[in-house]
Chain A
Amino acid sequence: MQSSSQNKGFRWVLLMLFVSLFQTLSFAGLLFKNNKLDLELLYIFLAYMAGQWVYLLLNRLITRRRDFQLEIIAFFLSGISLVVCASFNNNFALKQLLAIGLGLLAHVLVLLMSMSTDVAMFFRIPLALASIGLLAANLLIAETTHGTLNWIEIGGFSVQPSELVKIAFVFVGAVTLEKIQSTRSLTKYLLYAVTCVGALFLMRDFGTALIFFFTFVIIAFMRSGDVRTIFFATTGAALGGGMVLYFKPYVVRRFATYRRIWENMDTGGYQQTRVLIYMASGGLFGLGLGEGKLRNVYAASTDLVFGLLCEEFGLLLGLAVLVAYGLIALYALLAARQASSTFYSIAAVCAAALLLFQVSLNVFGITDLLPLTGVTLPFVSRGGTSMISSWGLLALIRARGLFQAPKVKGRGL
């Protein structure tokens, strides 16, 4: 991956054609419902199809790259989210198309912000302040929604600021650890991390707080090997302890039904039992898009979307989606190994770890292998900020790949 020669064998056009074929097939059934062509949906689908091809071709022309594995995986997953949304209604689909567009925009922005370590350094403080400001604003205006305070409404769209902060959190963490740091600047980062996680405590968003905490531990680990490690570890433990204490009533309630969902089928285990029942009903090949019953359960297109995929598309597609996340993480691992600086290395590992951790909390949470925490499935759950956050984090994995490799041929932007 260091040089483009390694990627000569990678036929991205072929893979993308294959993904497009899958997308066309899964959309076809929706377009012709009731023997009538749904024009609006057709336009949405064509816009998406065109969007992903144009993005890749432009990318190819501008950057001369062809290793679009990450992008194609993300388009595959985003395409599934669009199909799922379209199977509910066209309004969902339109909003999701917009979300994917915004996600791509965020992706490009993050790529530009991390085009070199110097540029990244420049954005460190503004991003840190912006994210804290966002969380503070969230705390001030948010209404409690479903037991958490992490949503705000802007012009008919509900926005989850903590999703956007994820990108900044990894970005700031990675860039701070890039240069040999003074203890003072490290302290500043710790302060930043504690503020972010603290704000999530106050929002009672246990799932996201857990994801931030986990990411913090990974960042600390990536930087470990000196006195600062102990500093990190202590802070980490304090954060973790504080988290458990703060969420105690909540945690206790979660654990009350965890591994006991069948005894609490109509209370705390409602969503998990339905997910398992309908996942099993779907078999390996699914009952067909729109034929499932999980879609009638609350949060079917957001938190429970993996269950819906398995019921309607089949377990095999569900597994393909999970393998896709594994591939993203594997790509990040290889990228980090070959990265030209610590910033890219840490950014890739932490962004991938965050994504995979969130996937685990989601998929294993709704299937009762872990306690249910109510986090979204990256790229696939319906929702704008989740999509933006997923694509933004993907850029942090991609960053090294996009702007460092062409150095071989002495090319910049």
Chain B
Amino acid sequence: MRSTSRRAYALLALILAFFAGVIILVISLFDKGGIWTAKRVNAHLYSGGQIVNAGAVYTADGEILAQSQDGKRLYSKDKNLRLSTLHTLGDASGFISSGTHSLYREELFGYSFINGIYTLKEHGKGNDIYLTLNSKACKIAYGALNGRKGAVGVYNYKTGEILCAVSNPTFDLNNKPKNMRMEKGEAHEGVYLNRLFSGLYTPGSVFKTVTAACAIENMPALDSWRYECKGQLQTGLGLVKCPSKHGKMNFEQAFNKSCNCAFAELAIEMGTEMLEGQAKSLAFGQALKIDKTTSAKSILNLQTANDLDLGWAACGQYTVLANPAHMMVLMGAIANGGSAARPYFVEKIVTPNKILTYKAIHATEDSIELEADKAGKLADFLRSNVVNGYGNSSFPNLNMCGKTGTAEVEDGKPHAWFTGFSQRDDLPLAIVVVVENGGSAFYNAVPVANRVMQALS
């Protein structure tokens, strides 16, 4: 009898195990409740896999990009705004994974461990999200792309706010085309991709900024360096060519004229390791944090490169690939004395009771390592490009610095790039423009950049 009642304590072990399970259950709810709630089969929030009930999304200048009313998701009345902000806003079905609708689902639903989604259910409102986007700049950038595929990004290199993020092709959320043709070369190729964050392009001459950074660091006599361009450079394995004979130049002039032969010559003098090392310290091979998402990794791989390959790589050809947002942040780093702000597009999140639950933090992008004096020299060279190369008239009153790139690709016309920034104190903005198969950068990318910058000026 006594032993039987002592054995009753087995029950205590069971009770303890039971409550251990209960605690695990509560902890997992606390930890993952938001993710679970946001699942696409949650009938409180979705209908047919589409978000129906959630908070509103605003631009920095007060335009409503999306809101919920009577169990329906409504979008901006301005068609061009819908088209130009699609990728930052994201679609209600979550195909665009880097959009606000996907990344900030939990916040839009106003989920909290304590209240669940009661607020949304009761007030029909989740948390409102205020983006950093400027609606005017987005629409102008979209218009300037004029139907061509590509990406435009502008951000404040001191704070990190992304003012303009446009990716084309796009589609209208109010009238999503059926049977979009998304194969390579077709009208809606990669339509769900935000090309600014996730695109990878042959950079062409915009990569010369990286080669220039490498030369500033590794060529002590760069100031007295001279080169005579004869239109082509024999490397032993083949030719690096320029569009024309640039003649005798110093380094600055070679950068202004974007002389392939001069940059190939410099790279071959320095070697693959130096160029790879420089690219790495400027965040090639790394995914940059952009708000809650990350950029695609830019790529420079010279492991099996011979002199000819190295020469072309120094000019952003060969197998080099660059992500537009990364190039934009690199410009920001140069503009801001070596340290760029980390880009973001969500400024703040506010509950239906007007309580601020999130405010963007201004952080520094630490994956780009650039010394202040090197940044200063690069900024001077980039300024010289505009003054002596593209002409100040290309960017009236903007104090622009920058570098174009006309990147040769296998199929079609070259990609037209512009990467740059304004040196005006009241306009601390860096910009990237890529026009896929746009042709000459000067005629296709530079005007886009100017129009967008003027809109923000």
Task: List the A residue with the shortest CB-CB distance to B24.
Answer: A369
Q: Does B1 contact A (CB under 8 A)?
A: yes
With A273-B41, A333-B11, A345-B5 in contact, do A283 and B21 touch (Cβ < 8 Å)? no
Chain B residues with CB under 8 A of A273: 36, 39, 41
Is there contact, CB below 8 Å, between B14 and A357? yes
Q: Is B44 part of the contact surface with A, judged by Cβ < 8 Å? A: yes
Given A280-B29, A293-B44, A369-B24, answer yes or no on A329-B4 (Cβ-Cβ < 8 Å).
no
Residues of B within 8 A of A40 (CB): none
Does residue A73 face the partner (Cβ distance < 8 Å to B)? no
Within 8 A of B (CB), among A242-297: 265-266, 273-274, 276-287, 291, 293, 296
Q: Are A352 and B11 in contact (CB under 8 A)?
A: yes
The chain B residue sitting closest to A322, CB to CB, is B22
Asked if B7 lies at the interface with its beta carbon under 8 angstroms from chain A, I say yes
Task: Please tell me if B117 contacts chain A, counting CB pairs below 8 Å.
Answer: yes
Q: How far is the CB of B120 from chain A (nearest CB, A)?
A: 9
In Å, the complex CA distance between A182 and B5 comes to 22
B117 touches A281 (CB 8 A): yes
Q: Tell me, in angstroms, the Cα distance from A94 to B18 when the chains sit together.
A: 33
- Chain A interface size, as a band, is 35 or more
B9 proximal to A (CB < 8 A)? yes
Contact B8 A345 (CB under 8 A): yes
Question: How long is the Cα–Cα vector from A293 to B14 in the complex, in angstroms?
Answer: 33
Given the contacts A218-B10, A276-B36, A280-B116, A360 and B3 also touching, CB distance less than 8 Å? no
B11 / chain A contacts, CB cutoff of 8 Å: 329, 332-333, 336, 349, 352-353, 356
Residues of the B chain whose Cβ atoms lie less than 8 Å from the Cβ of A314: 116
Interface-facing stretch out of A45-53, A80-88, A150-158, A219-227? A219-227
Verify if B355 is at the interface (C-beta below 8 Å from A): no
> Could you tell me which residues of chain B, from 316 to 372, have a CB within 8 Å of some CB in chain A?
none
Count of chain B residues with a beta carbon within 8 Å of a chain A beta carbon: 41
Taking chain B's interface residues, is the majority helix, strand, or loop, or is none over half, making it mixed?
A: helix
* Nearest chain B CB to A278 CB, angstrom units: 7
Interface string of B12-24 (1 = CB under 8 A from A): 1011011101101
Give Cα A101–Cα B145 distance, bound, in whole angstroms: 75
Distance between Cα atoms of A222 and B10 in the complex (Å): 9
Contact A293 B24 (CB under 8 A): no
**Is A160 an interface residue, CB under 8 A from the partner?**
no
User: Within 8 Å CB of A359, what residues of B?
Assistant: 18
Q: Which of B8, B18, B34 contacts A280 (CB 8 A)?
A: B34
Whether the Cβ atoms of B121 and A278 lie closer than 8 Å is no
Instruction: Kindly report which residue of chain B lies nearest to residue A342, judged by CB atoms.
Output: B4
Check: B455 CB closer than 8 A to any chain A CB.
Answer: no
Q: Is the CB of A291 within 8 A of B18?
A: no
Residue of B nearest to A364 (CB): B21
Interfacial chain B residues near A223, Cβ < 8 Å: 4
User: Is A337 within 8 A of B116, CB to CB?
Assistant: no
Query: Which B25-46 residues have a C-beta within 8 angstroms of A?
Result: 25-26, 28-29, 32-34, 36-37, 39, 41-44
B residues near A72, Cβ cutoff 8 Å: none
Contact B7 A284 (CB under 8 A): no
Let me know if B237 is at the binding interface, CB within 8 A: no
> Distance in Å from the Cβ of B64 to the closest Cβ of chain A?
26
The B64-80 residues at the A interface (CB cut-off 8 A) are: none
B219: min CB distance to chain A, Å: 55
User: Which of chain A's residues 321-342 have a Cβ closer than 8 Å to chain B?
Assistant: 322, 325-326, 329-330, 332-333, 336-339, 341-342
Contacts of A277 in B (CB 8 A): 36-37, 39, 41-42
**B7 to chain A: closest residue by CB:** A222
Q: Does A128 contact B (CB under 8 A)?
A: no
Q: Which residues of B contact A336 (CB under 8 A)?
A: 4-5, 8, 11
Cβ-based interface call for B112 (8 A): yes
Interface string of B110-128 (1 = CB under 8 A from A): 0111111110010000000
Whether, in the assembled complex, A315 has its beta carbon less than 8 Å from a beta carbon of chain B, the answer is: yes
Q: For residues 345 through 370 of chain A, which have their beta carbon under 8 Å from a beta carbon of chain B?
A: 345-346, 348-349, 352-353, 356-357, 359-360, 363-364, 367, 369
Give Cα distance in the complex from A344 to B204, angstroms: 87
Which has the most chain B C-beta neighbours within 10 Å: A266, A276, A283, A363? Answer: A283
Chain A residues in 8 Å Cβ range of B118 = 282-283, 285-287
* Residues in B neighbouring A364, C-beta threshold 8 A: 21, 25
When the two chains form the complex, which single residue of B5, B15, B29, B114 contacts A356, counting CB atoms closer than 8 Å?
A: B15
Return the contact of A326 from the options B8, B9, B18, B114 (Cβ within 8 A). B18
Instruction: Indicate which residue in B3, B8, B44 contacts A281 across the interface (CB closer than 8 Å).
Output: B44
Check A353/B14 contact, CB under 8 A, given A283-B117, A293-B43.
yes
A363-B20 Cα distance, complex, nearest whole Å: 13
Which residue on chain A has the smallest CB distance to residue B115? A283
B37 touches A329 (CB 8 A): no
**Chain B residues closer than 8 Å to A356, beta-carbon distance:** 11, 14-15, 18
- B17 nearest CB neighbor, chain A only: A360
Contact across chains for A369 and B21 when beta carbons are under 8 A apart:
yes
CA distance A273 to B35 in the complex (A): 12
Q: B7 to chain A: which residues have CB within 8 Å?
A: 221-222, 224, 349
Give the distance in Å from the alpha carbon of A348 to the alpha carbon of B24 in the complex.
28
Q: Which positions 222-238 of chain A face chain B at CB distance < 8 Å?
A: 222-225
Complex contacts, B3 vs chain A, CB 8 Å: 225
Residue contact B15 to A283, C-beta cutoff 8 Å = no
A37 at the interface (CB under 8 A from B): no
Report the Cα distance A280→B115, complex, angstroms. 9
Question: Is the CB–CB distance between B115 and A284 below 8 Å?
Answer: yes
B42 and chain A: residue at smallest CB distance: A277
Interface residues in chain B, defined as those with a beta carbon under 8 Å from any beta carbon in chain A: 1, 3-5, 7-12, 14-15, 17-19, 21-22, 24-26, 28-29, 32-34, 36-37, 39, 41-44, 111-118, 121
6 closest A-B pairs by beta carbon, nearest first, are: A283-B116, A280-B33, A336-B8, A293-B43, A283-B115, A280-B36
Q: Residues of A at under 8 Å CB distance from B?
A: 218, 221-225, 265-266, 273-274, 276-287, 291, 293, 296, 314-315, 319, 322, 325-326, 329-330, 332-333, 336-339, 341-342, 345-346, 348-349, 352-353, 356-357, 359-360, 363-364, 367, 369
Contacts A222-B7, A280-B111, A329-B15 given; 7 further ones with Cβ under 8 A? A221-B7, A280-B36, A281-B116, A283-B112, A284-B114, A314-B116, A333-B11
